Amino acid sequence: MKVFHFTEQAYPEAWDQHQGSLRVVLPNRILDPKIAAERFHRYYDEWLLADELGYDIMVNEHHSTATCMASTVIVTLSVLARETKRARLLVLGYPIAHRPDPLRCAEELSTIDVVSRGRLEMGFVKGVPYEIPVANTNPVFIMERFWEAHDFIIKAMTSHDEPFNWEGQFFQYRHVNIWPRPWQQPHPPVWSTTSSRTNARVLGQKGYVMATLGSGYNTRALYDAYREGWRAAGRTEPAPPDRFAYLALVGIARSEDEARRRAELVAGYPRTSGIVAPHFRNPPGFLSVEDNARLLQGKTPPRSFTKDGRVVNMATASVQELIDAAIMFCGTPDQVYRQIVDFTEHCGGLGNLLMMGQAGHLSHEDTVDSLTLFAKDVMPRLKELKQSAAAAAAAE
């Protein structure tokens, strides 16, 4: 199992200064650029440490929000492509349907792949609904636009002999001929995220790495939908664990009490992430009309479950509930290891742990200590964890 260190690069100094929305409409005068600079450098330092400790690295972006200051993955990736030595650099994700110019995306990502000498993992995402008001992409066509941008980027990265033209529904180009072409052939690995079985099946057919976030004990159903798609594409071997990724919060320390203290700080992420005005949460066309009809009646489908079937609301859950729902792994190294192994068995295979090793108000010192402890006492055991083909086959 590979372990990726991830932080949202939050600006928690603003978390108590909102009028009901930490996203979209929170005025940027609240942000002090000097504090922001301190935080950016600190988050980069933690990624550099993660590189030294044997982690891989995950980065992301959001817009107009104090929950995540990174508004372009390309800046973060540029810094890390040059400054890190060995870690895989996973962007999860790049909201390609929101970008006006996928040619620029292909050029940027290829350059990152070359500068990092082939360490880029390309996660393409639809993006959360509250990105729509800022991106201004028509939410009704978001998935069509996503797949057209995806098809274009892949073609741009894999066409080497002569320029091509593109006259699509959303994008038009002439003389497409990107320099540099990517280091990895035929192109850097593709990842995506989903919370729907329908989309999981599509990702399985394509054989891309599929990540889920906060899906807890609902994860197995999504992985099984992926496996269905994987088989439907005519593959005879079961989908290997490295096709699956899970994003979890981690609170770890030498003592359980200290781990719980850190976990409370890390839980600042789920407790603030959803603070956004309701009308930005559900742009038209983002959900199906049937789902929207149910929403009008006040019926929201639960998303996160504990192992014994209790529904957990990420925004209000206690640390214990987050642990019960496998949204967080928390405790001493032994406890954390056992929780991860137990969850891996639930999933029927899991090759990539995306670890939110820093979130919210967790200090630099705490983050360094947590990352170091996990790298020393948990990661080696996870790397050796045998996920046999038999287990994967049983999952089929």
Partner 1 sequence: MAEEQKTVARVRLEWLERGEGRPILFLHPGIGIAPDAPVLDRLASKARVIAPSHPGFGRSEQPKDMTTIDDLAYFYLDLMDELRLEGATLVGISFGGWLAAEIAVKSTSRIARLVLADAVGIKVGARDTRDIADIFAMSEAELAQQAWFNPEAAKRDYKSMAESDLVAIARNREALARYGWQPYMHDPKLKQRLHRIRVPALVLWGEADRIASPDYGRAYAAALPNARFELLPRAGHFPHLEAPDEFAARVLAFEGDHA
Of 133 and 238, the one with the shorter C-beta distance to partner 1 is 133
Burial class, 244, CB count within 10 angstroms (exposed 0-12 / middle 13-18 / buried 19+):
buried
Say if residues 337 and 378 touch (Cβ distance below 8 Å): yes
Considering the complex, what minimum distance in angstroms separates the CB of residue 203 from partner 1?
Answer: 23
Indicate if the alpha-carbon torsion angle 93, 359, 242, 286 is positive or negative.
negative
Of 107 and 148, the one with the shorter C-beta distance to partner 1 is 148
Measured CA to CA in angstroms, residue 5 lies from 88, 370, 375 at distances of 10, 11, 11
**Given 290, 308, 365, 384, the residue binding partner 1 (CB under 8 A):** 290
What x/- string results for residues 266 through 285 when contact with partner 1 is judged by CB under 8 A? -----------xxxx--xxx
Of 13 and 144, the one with the shorter C-beta distance to partner 1 is 144
* 116: nearest Cα among 133, 140, 91, 137: 91
Q: Is 297 in the site for partner 1 (CB under 8 A)?
A: yes
Between CA 285 and CA 294 the distance in angstroms is: 14
318: number of Cβ within 10 Å: 12
Considering the complex, what minimum distance in angstroms separates the CB of residue 288 from partner 1?
Answer: 8
Burial profile 335-373: b = 16 or more Cβ within 10 angstroms, e = fewer? bbbebbbebbebbbbbbbbbbbbbbbebeeebbbbbbeb
Q: Is 293 in the site for partner 1 (CB under 8 A)?
A: yes
Between CA 53 and CA 89 the distance in angstroms is: 15
**Given 102, 139, 229, 333, the residue binding partner 1 (CB under 8 A):** 139
> CA torsion 278→284→289→293, rounded to 10°?
30
**Given 44, 71, 78, 138, the residue binding partner 1 (CB under 8 A):** 138
Q: Is 196 in the site for partner 1 (CB under 8 A)?
A: no
Considering the complex, what minimum distance in angstroms separates the CB of residue 299 from partner 1?
Answer: 10
Q: Which stretch binds partner 1 (CB under 8 A): 115-123, 132-140, 247-255, 303-311?
A: 132-140
**Given 19, 296, 308, 386, the residue binding partner 1 (CB under 8 A):** 296
Instruction: Count the residues in the chain.
Output: 396
Q: How many residues lie near partner 1 (CB under 8 A)?
A: 22
Q: What is the CA radius of gyration of the chain?
A: 20
Say if residues 368 and 20 touch (Cβ distance below 8 Å): no
Between CA 183 and CA 246 the distance in angstroms is: 27
Of 236 and 297, the one with the shorter C-beta distance to partner 1 is 297
Q: Which stretch binds partner 1 (CB under 8 A): 103-111, 134-142, 176-184, 230-238?
A: 134-142
Q: Is 167 in the site for partner 1 (CB under 8 A)?
A: no
**Given 30, 75, 140, 233, the residue binding partner 1 (CB under 8 A):** 140
Considering the complex, what minimum distance in angstroms separates the CB of residue 98 from partner 1?
Answer: 12
Considering the complex, what minimum distance in angstroms separates the CB of residue 274 from partner 1?
Answer: 16
**Given 186, 298, 365, 386, the residue binding partner 1 (CB under 8 A):** 298
Which chain residues interact with partner 1 by CB under 8 A?
133, 136-141, 277-280, 283-285, 289-290, 292-294, 296-298
